[in-house]
Structure 1
Amino acid sequence: MSNVQTTYLKDYKAPEFGIKNCDLVFELFEDYTQVTNMMSIVKVDKNSKNIVLNSVDLELTELYLNDLKLKDTRYIIDKETLTVLDVPDDFKLIIINKIYPHLNSELDGLYKSGDIFCTQNEPEGFRRITPYLDRPDVMAVFKTTLVANREKYPILLSNGNTASSFKLDDGRHGITWDDPHPKPAYLFALVAGDLGVVKDTFKTASAKIVRLNIYTDKGNESKCKHAMKSLKEAMLWDEEKYGREYDLTLYNIVAVDSFNMGAMENKGLNIFNSAYVLADEDTATDANFMGIQSVIAHEYFHNWTGNRITCRDWFQLTLKEGLTVFRDQCFSADLNSKEVQRIEDVKALRERQFVEDASPTAHPIQPNSYMAINNFYTATVYEKGAEIIRMIHTLLGEENYRKATDLYFESFDGQAVRTDDFLWAMSKASGVDLKAFETWYHQSGTPKLHVEERYENGEYKLTLTQKVPNAVDGSEQKPYYYPLKIALLSDNGKEILAETLIVSKDKEEFVYKLKSKPVLSINRDFSAPVIVEQKENNYPFLMKFDKNSFVKYESTQSFGVLTIESIMEGKVVDEEYIKSFESLLNTDIDLSYKALLLELPTVSTLMQRQTEVDFELIYEAKEKLELHIATKFQDKLLDIYKKYHKPTCKDIDAKSIGERSIKNRCLKLLSALKNDEVIELANNQYNESITMTDRAVALDILENISPAFAEIAQADFYKKYKDDTLVMNKYFSILAASHREGTLDRVMALQNDNAYNELVPNLVRSLIGVFARNYKHFHAKDGYGYKFVVDKIIDIDKINPQMASGLAGAFKIYEKMNIENKKAMKTELDRVVSTQSISKNVYEIVSKIIKI
């Protein structure tokens, strides 16, 4: 793979040609699709003689320049381009080509998901449909005609509004779609199938009626209610918070099973992974409902932050994704619990992005280069990107932020722009100089903030020292500029002051005149995505008194981490931590928030703090603490469980979700006892509860503590849901995440299960992907977990390189592993890079991990 080309941001060149209009005709047949592409093209750079179109795996049939059919001496076809020679300044190009969607297992371009034709064109899928200038800074007005068998494909959808329809004598029919808004090719979409639909309308702020449709497999219509409700809530929220009104009279969503991503914001026709549309209480967990609400909103919000204003090039990806993630996080916080939402957002960031930032695949939110752009749809670009927007919001304040986003929309509507343009709007409208803040866009790694406190003679001195990691190439990086929310508390827990500091130097001091030494509450609301290192800490005090919900949670987690680490060193369980945990058990607060406070630190959190990772040691210590807590507080945990266990409640309001959260947290803590009483509770919960939330938790507990009861419950679960792919994802995930002996053997056997299909990304993620995150068995010292996953990476890469590179990400912690595991990892990763046919997607990830 030494011939893999790298694309660099510094080499960006503006397009030499522009496309004014693109009229497409798709004639859809079972064994092929014929695409007729009619483009009006204008030469931007008058010195350009030839137009080079992106074209991958296309079978060219005919080519016309201004109605003149071209001979093969006038064009050149190679592996990834179609070059038309000696073109005039203004011309029309007609290209007719064939593609084979039913053979497209990469799910990129036009493919079939079951019996449904659908597309995924971000970032570079359109070139697999027809030759085109497939780059985000080339924007054209599209008109699309779809022609297919009207009995098998009665629903024909594309971007924009319907313009006309017709029937043909051969049993086929067609519909023409007209999208008035210029867009890049990555936002093009089509869908054809025999689908059920749920319809509704939304009245915009200007009294325009927008027709809303959610399409899905017939029989699933009843599972679309929550998605439709979420869509309408998102439309209203965007009008109220950002002044953004929807700009078409039609908004369509289609749910498909086979999809590489979560969803795609194609203009007016969002295509969704069905996992983020379909839900009812019998088949979806509370987390699924929250996820649907978030992703539905995310894709809708892209209409302005991604579609109306798009990226100049793919290095600017965080321009739309970081901003839109921030928007969907705020939406979810406004509709639900702000405290819980913020903690969940930070948990996700630390579990995924912090690990990425500490690995050889670390990169800035605006990368400098890539081999395969699909590899940069990462937690860094998305979640860290959102944190950077959140810091801008903090620096500007709500009022100035709104002025700045208004200016951004007014200045760049209909354009493909850069992150610099967004920062310009933020600074221009607010008067806040963000020049120093640009470092966040160009540096990688998670900065640390070392905190020292001193109190002498009525003076409290807070010294903050930035510890900025080197870049992946070893080069030094600059200190960051960011807001840091703090408070100083008196010895009775009262706030003496609360303010936002600006951290901007390697080292700086903040001095306060006080009558006594305060207790520091730092990085409130997680105001900056940094790791705080404190010489002193008073976690029990903050757990008890701090009014900031995030710092209270953070203190609980930090104290738990220190307690487990002391157990890893051979010490007894810290009884002060146990007393603090008991006070949380007795606290009367929001139940969803309380459930988070009672959660022990994850294995991932503990792993990130180790210089050399040994998962066996981590699991042993954590399990010891779990057993200690379960034993000491058995009666209290049982009381809470019984009080809130309501097996016939299926409501998804905040109160019901909170009750399920707290009682399931207590049941999980009790499961460390592995006694008959807990097994009976879990078994009864599985059999009596009517929500998937309760059944999935019970099934997971039984799997880990009672093989006999688990086998019976799993057989029942399988029989009931074997034909429901979304529920089977949960089934495979529970088994792949199991801590019981023999998990790898069972995972390998499940590949032959009738409900499993390696062509469906969700199923691969739920079985192979979840196993690769099962630290206990994936990282087993015998190395068999590594061998299995590498075998799957090599196999799946032949089918779907994007899925394979995602699995390869499980090896990102290679550098931090102990010598024995590292050696086993290296042996397997060497096999990947020595595979001659390996894709550039996989090669890029693995070559960075082992530093080729």
Structure 2
Amino acid sequence: MADIQSTNAAAPAIIHRQDYSPPDWFVPEISLDFTLDPASTQVRATLSVTRNGAHERPLILDGDGLSPMEVQVDGRLLQGGEWMMKGDALVIPLPGDAHQIETLVELAPENNSKLMGLYASGGLLCTQCEAEGFRRITFFPDRPDILSRYSVCMEADQTRYPILLSNGDPVEQGSLPNGRHWARWNDPFPKPCYLFALVAGDLSCKADSFVTMSGRTVRLGIWVKEGDLPRTDHAMQALKNSMAWDERVYGREYDLDVFNIVAVADFNFGAMENKGLNIFNSRYILADPETATDIDYDGVEAVVAHEYFHNWSGNRVTCRDWFQLSLKEGFTVFRDQNFSADMGSHAVKRIEDVRVLRAAQFQEDSGPLAHPVRPESYIEISNFYTATIYNKGAELIRMIALMLGPDRFRAGSDLYFDRHDGQAATCEDFVKAMEEGGGIDLRQFRRWYEQAGTPHVRATLRHDPAAQTVELLLEQSIPPTPGQPDKQPMAIPLRTALFDRAVGRHRGETLLMLTQAQQSFTFSGFADAPILSINRGFSAPVIVEADRSQTELAFLSAHDDDPFARYEAMQQLMVNVLVGRVAGQNIDEGAVVAAIRDTATDPKLDPAFIAEAIRLPSEAYLGDQMAQVDPDAIHAARDALQQRIGQQLEPLWRDIHANMKANGFSLSPAAKGARKLRNIALLYLVASGTDDGPTMAFSQFDEADNMTERQSALATLANNISNEREAALDIFYNRYRSDALTLDKWFQTQAFASHPDTVDLVEELARHPDFTLSNPNRVRSLFGAFAGNQWAFHHKSGKGYRMVADCIIALDKINPQTAARLAPPLGRWRRFDEGRAVLMRAELQRILAEPGLSKDVAEQVGKSLN
């Protein structure tokens, strides 16, 4: 056996999109035989390979940490000199055009802390293969444009692993000597290896069925630990609702006889769409009123839908290469967002989605990790599972759907699915299908896939009373991003209306297409200057800058008939006051207080919408509005305004808190909205400083019959110093210490609290016996939440930076993917004062100097320093 090593192991290769070339070899069929054991699993893989085109290049099979025990070609065992290792890859020179390759490897799942490939979790053996985890299971050309039909046989101890699941449909099963058993599964649909899945363990099934639109009955199963079965009802209903919705809205029917979901405790992601066998982080399956908040319930519904929708937008049509990741993720996020809106409130769902986009993706677009929706290069593909790929990618689909309208968008999506079914496609394939199916020219729109950065749109309204006309001047610009200093104008669809001040209405909404750097639009028949409502429904993922007075914003917050625009006006009222206060200006808060009072008492409004509209912008969002972030000044200004709103409207908050109390728990939209508004009222009451605020919060905590009100009360108490705070935290911990998912909330609540000692408290929690680096959920609940707590994380001492850097260094040795996701907050050092910037850079440099750093973390940190 020859061993060919890279000449520069310290410099990981950069993969470029333009370097894509078709596979040298295809693998139309693969058979996998697993002899499962947590300490020693053997995997025998039999690949039918065919040469692609006229060339003499060898077969190269990717591996990661594997050593072949056997290599066979067409039934003949090869000797060492007939194959070689090039780095981690197995290289086999082959004559002819078709062969059968067989390899045997041995794995130790219980030692796989990376949670990629085959690993052990809570007594289960399970897999995670996206993006490049399959090469940790067996030697294979691990790229998404290799589509294969899979036959999988598993053998295991029947007592320890009575349930054996894989992709597709079950074929046969049986018993073996010595207390072992086996099962065979077959997936008739060709799929890339990243969609392979296997689960073995002692599981119980929540069983149900669904009858498709063609009359087939599909067996549904959600597999969990027996004690968790009562918490699976919501997930099962979400699955059935998703299947019906995809048939109704997209005409897409499920194609196998079985659909299974398995919940596991240790998972790097939210869930995975493996064909016919979705593997989920348990937090997105398990829910009941005692342990799950309304946000958790919504999350379960959305993620179950997302992974199911991938059956078509991701599985039946998959990605040609990983640069096309948004082809499946952006489209599927768009689909799950619309599903969730149909299941609840369209207005509130849109507000929630935009808040997430601004908090995560806008920050990404404005920093050193900015990249296009279709990236041009990467070192570690796991680093591109980003808000840009998912959330901004969804906004691109939303803009196309807006420009086309429902019927033409459906025609385009039908053409896309029909044309590329069973293929590995590209973002360009999707856009072409939309052009042809929808009858639209999207040549300029393609720049959204190519250019990074968030466009800024400057809107200026000019009224000519003599001519009774209004000119709307729009100017767009995109700030420079890494590798893209100069940008071309985007195609930006802007839903716009002009409101008559006297009657409080507009004459109709117009969809304006901004396609140039500067563009003007003229409207006639306006004797008086109207008020501009623009980017209604957040029709484009842009930052709009418009000179609208506090009076005009207050008008829109009361009269705009587009829910998102009404919410946006209210938020801008608050932003103007808070940013002005940070800058030393004494902007009157009266308009804010009046708008909040009027909104909160409007009987025509949904309580859930009211709660969203009257909530103050987050400290992080306020920081994004400033050239240089001042965490202390922002925190002080926001706290002061929150206190004033609480004090001036105290009777209103007391009434809302009393009137929104329910007699029993319900998941109806009305009940969820009431809880949301009641919790906001409690927040303002406690912020007001009223003597009985902590007592009221503790009473809600103690008497709540649901986790939504209990955790909200706990979070409100956690922000302040009081005896009730300590008592509630102790009660919560003792009540839920044996439930890992709920205990995560205990860690998260404290890490995200606006408490003066949060930095020290997080340091103490990191030493808590229940904290562990081995579980991604627990790491995210403490350090992920803390890094998102702007005031605490950016403590001027730099202690917060040091703690997160220490966590990244320690975690990188265990789970590089999770460690890498903690790095971006440190990379925003350019946005802060020199003192904080120096401290953040020092921690990034310390991480980068760590010996043996993974390429996951090295790429994130290296880019953050450049």
TM range (shorter): over 0.9
Q: Is the 8 A contact 1:365 1:381 kept in 2?
A: yes
1:261 aligns with 2:269: yes
Other structure's SS at 1:191 match = strand
Amino acid at match of 1:775: Q
Alpha-carbon spacing, 1:577–1:183, altered in 2? closer, same or farther (3 Å): same
Shift in Å, 1:315: 0.0
Structure 1 equivalent of residue 119 of structure 2: 111
**Residue pair 1:167, 1:173 contacting (<8 A) in 2 also:** yes
Distance in 1, matches of 2:768 and 2:265, equals 18
CA distance in structure 2 between the aligned counterparts of 1:691 and 1:387, rounded to whole angstroms: 34
What percentage of residue pairs aligned between the two structures are identical?
Answer: 40
Q: Deviations over 1:192-238 (max 9, x none)?
A: 00011100000000010000000011200010000000000000000
- Give the superposition deviation at 1:474: 5.0
Structure 1 position 798 matched with structure 2 position 813: yes
| Corresponding residue number in structure 1 for 2:536 | 524
Aligned to 1:743: 758
Closer, same or farther: CA 474–391 of 1 in aligned 2, 3 Å: closer
Q: Is the CA contact (8 Å cut-off) linking 1:230 and 1:293 kept in structure 2?
A: yes
2:108 equivalent to 1:100:
yes
Residue 482 of structure 1, CA deviation: 2.1
Note the aligned Cα RMSD (angstroms).
1.1
Contact 1:679/1:706 (8 A) holds in 2: no
Q: Is the 8 A contact 1:311 1:319 kept in 2?
A: yes
> Is 1:817 the counterpart of 2:842 in the alignment?
no
Q: Distance in 2 between matches of 1:760 and 1:216?
A: 18
Output the CA distance in 1 between the equivalents of 2:777 and 2:412: 39
CA apart distance, 1:613: 1.0
Tell me the SS of whatever aligns to 1:355: helix
DSSP-derived class of the 1:520 partner: strand
Q: Residue 622 of structure 1 corresponds to which residue in structure 2?
A: 638
Query: Structure 2 matches for 1:422-821, cutoff 5 A?
Result: 422-456=430-464, 457=466, 458-491=468-501, 492-516=503-527, 517-537=529-549, 538-570=552-584, 571=586, 573-588=588-603, 589-646=605-662, 648-821=663-836
Distance 2:406 2:827 in 1: 38
Contact 2:197 2:277 in 1 (8 A): yes
Task: Name the aligned partner's letter for residue 131 of structure 2.
Answer: P
* Contact kept? 2:318, 2:424, Cα under 8 Å: yes
For the residues of structure 2 that align with 1:163 and 1:58, how far apart are their CA atoms? Answer: 29
Aligned 8 A contact 1:214 1:253 in 2: yes
Contact 1:464 1:507 in 2 (8 A): yes
Distance in 1, Cα, partners of 2:825 & 2:673: 32
C-alpha contact 2:461 2:473 (8 A) present in aligned 1? yes
Q: Distance in 2 between matches of 1:531 and 1:346?
A: 12
How far did 1:576 drift?
2.3
Amino acid at match of 2:601: N
Partner amino acid for 2:760? D
Contact 1:674 1:705 in 2 (8 A): no
Question: Is 1:838 aligned with 2:848?
Answer: no
**C-alpha offsets along residues 71-128 of structure 1, whole Å, 9 cap, x if unaligned?**
1101112432110123431000000000111000000000011100000000000000
Q: TM-score, normalised by structure 1?
A: 0.99
* Alignment pair present for 1:826 and 2:838: no
SS in 1 for 2:208: strand
1:67 pairs with 2:75: yes
How far, CA to CA, are the matches of 2:277 and 2:481 in structure 1?
40
Aligned equivalents of 1:719, 1:657: Cα separation in 2:
27
1:572 Cα deviation after fit: 5.1
Indicate the larger mover: 39-48 or 301-310.
39-48
User: Which of 33, 48, 51 is residue 56 of structure 2 equivalent to?
Assistant: 48
Would the aligned equivalents of 2:68 and 2:104 in 1 still touch at CA under 8 Å?
yes
In the alignment, the residues of structure 2 paired with residue 513 and residue 658 of structure 1 have an alpha-carbon distance, to the nearest angstrom, of 41
Contact 2:694/2:722 (8 A) holds in 1: no
CA deviation digits over 1:516-540, x for unaligned, max 9? 2211110010000000011234201
Question: What does residue 215 of structure 2 align with?
Answer: 207
Letter in 1 for 2:327: L
Match runs of 1:45-444 below 5 Å: 45-444=53-452
Q: 1:350, 1:132 → 2: CA distance? A: 39
Alpha carbons 2:470, 2:526 under 8 Å: kept: no
Give the Cα separation in 2 of the matches to 1:777 and 1:339.
Answer: 32
C-alpha displacement of 1:707: 3.5
CA distance in 1, matches of 2:38, 2:301: 35
The residue type equivalent to 1:774 in the other structure is N
Structure 2 residue matching 1:807: 3-state secondary structure: coil
Which amino acid letter does the alignment assign opposite residue 420 of structure 2?
F
Q: Which amino acid aligns with 1:251?
A: F
Secondary structure, in 3 states, of the residue corresponding to 1:174?
strand
Any conservation in 2 of the 1:16–1:43 contact (CA below 8 Å)? Answer: yes
Describe the SS at the equivalent of 1:532.
Answer: strand
- Offset of residue 265 of structure 1: 0.1
The residue matched to 2:81 in structure 1 has which SS? Answer: coil
Shift of 1:711: 1.6
- Whichever residue aligns with residue 657 of structure 2, its letter is Y
1:684-711 alpha-carbon deviations (Å, 9 max, x no partner): 0111111000110111112222432122
Distance (Å, rounded) in 2 between the aligned partners of 1:745 and 1:221? 39
Larger CA deviation: 462-471 vs 144-153 = 462-471
Q: Distance in 1 between matches of 2:95 and 2:259?
A: 38
Secondary structure of the corresponding residue to residue 296 of structure 2 = helix
Q: CA contact under 8 A between 2:359 and 2:621: conserved in structure 1?
A: yes
What is the Cα deviation at residue 581 of structure 1? 2.1
Instruction: Describe the SS at the equivalent of 2:627.
Output: coil
Q: Which stretch of the first structure deviates more once superposed, 575-584 or 714-723?
A: 575-584
Offset at residue 483 of structure 1 (A): 1.2
Distance in 2 (CA, whole Å) between partners of 1:576 and 1:386 is: 35
Decide whether the 8 Å contact of 2:368 with 2:481 is kept in 1: no
**Deviation of residue 182 (structure 1)?**
0.3
